[in-house]
Amino acid sequence: MTTHERTAELAAAIEAVSRAAQVTQAVQRELVTADTLTKKDRSPVTVADFASQAVVCETLQRHFANDPVVGEEDAAELRDEANEPLRASVVEHVQRALADIAPATEAQVLSWIDRGHAEGGAKGRFWTLDPIDGTKGFLRGEQYAIALALIEDGEIVFGALGCPNLPSPADEGEGLLIVASRGDGTWMTPLIFEGESELQPVHVSDIAAAADANFCESVESGHSDQDQSVQIAKKLGITAEPVRMDSQAKYATVAGGSAAIYLRLPTRPGYREKIWDHAAGVIAVEEAGGKVTDVAGKPLEFGHGRQLEANRGVIATNGRIHDAVVAAVRDVLES
């Protein structure tokens, strides 16, 4: 990183996300089997989700005791007597991930998960956490992310996005970790590494014509309208097939320049995007030189609580082609 601001946040976030990734990768190795998909068994991702949130919240609490966390999960379901086996599995994975810190008790694990209950809002400082973004990708053994961002007075100022199944930028280590700090830039490093790793700067693609873009979108047609995206791509003269991937790995892909467009087109009018599904990815793209708005071309507003109440959908681009993409989206959505 080039400046000396937010170095404490950087250290805490790297620790939190890489510890959480150790947990999610262990769960994927040990609990996700060929049967998981065919039996529609969601228990592995449930264990990984809760354990990841516990580990990130413990780490944040150790570094920034007073910072609230707006996390996707809470422990209510885990406290249910019927869920004793699930709870035991979560506690065991958290204990392993924090073995060098302290022997964690069940009560502590549940209380760390519950630290994610904050409401967010327009004033003050809070973290937002998606302990596993792309739960469907996790179960398929495809892309998922651990997404953590810091918001101050409604503005994202720092983000860390761990993508265990994206390629590492080094021979050492597994997975990709993207970090971004407002006004400073975006960097990448191996997500899990032995020894010291360098942060390398990340930049968006420099294409100037939308027709030359690769675009990415969700694997899930229920999360983003894939019929409309075909029409938008056609209008822009894009001939490349869409790159479909789960999670905020899409933002990482735009930040790193492998794609110049990420489209998320509303599938139903009532849905509101969640802040933890976007904050870390948005700052990664913006600080890499790109631009992010909603489908109407308005900036995303992170100061309205747990949801993006003032926005619909998302358009992320390399910046240079943003206006052309917004215009094409408007034409298709209005037709």
Binding range to Mg ion, per CB under 5 A, among 29-37, 91-99, 131-139, 155-163: 131-139
Residues in Cβ contact with 305 at an 8 Å cutoff, skipping those fewer than 6 apart: 119, 120, 121
According to DSSP, residue 242 is labeled P
Active-site option among 49, 130, 133, 294: 49
Give, as ranges, the residues between 50 and 109 that touch Mg ion (CB under 5 A): 72
Residue 314 phi/psi, 5° resolution? -145, 140
Smallest separation (angstroms) from ligand A3P to the CB of 221: 9
Q: Would you call 184 a catalytic residue per the annotation? A: no
Binding range to Mg ion, per CB under 5 A, among 9-17, 36-44, 221-229, 273-281: 273-281
Residue 220 binds which entry of ligand A3P, Mg ion, none, CB below 5-8 Å type-dependent: ligand A3P
274 binds ligand A3P (CB under 6 A): yes
Q: Would you call 227 a catalytic residue per the annotation? A: no
> For residues 9 and 72, which CB has a smaller minimum distance to ligand A3P in the complex?
72
130 binds Mg ion (CB under 5 A): yes
| Secondary structure string (H, E, C) spanning 160-210 | EEEECCCCCCCCCCEEEEEEEECCCEEEEEEEECCCCCCCEECCCCCCCCH
Nearest Cα residue to 285 out of 182, 209, 197: 182
Taking the C-alpha atoms of residue 220 and residue 179, their distance in angstroms, rounded to an integer, is 26
Give, as ranges, the residues between 248 and 267 that touch ligand A3P (CB under 6 A): 267
**Residues in touch with Mg ion (CB under 5 A):** 72, 130, 132-133, 277
Site of interaction with ligand A3P (CB under 6 A): 72, 130, 132-135, 218, 220, 222-223, 246-247, 267-268, 271, 274, 277
Catalytic residue positions, numbered: 49, 135
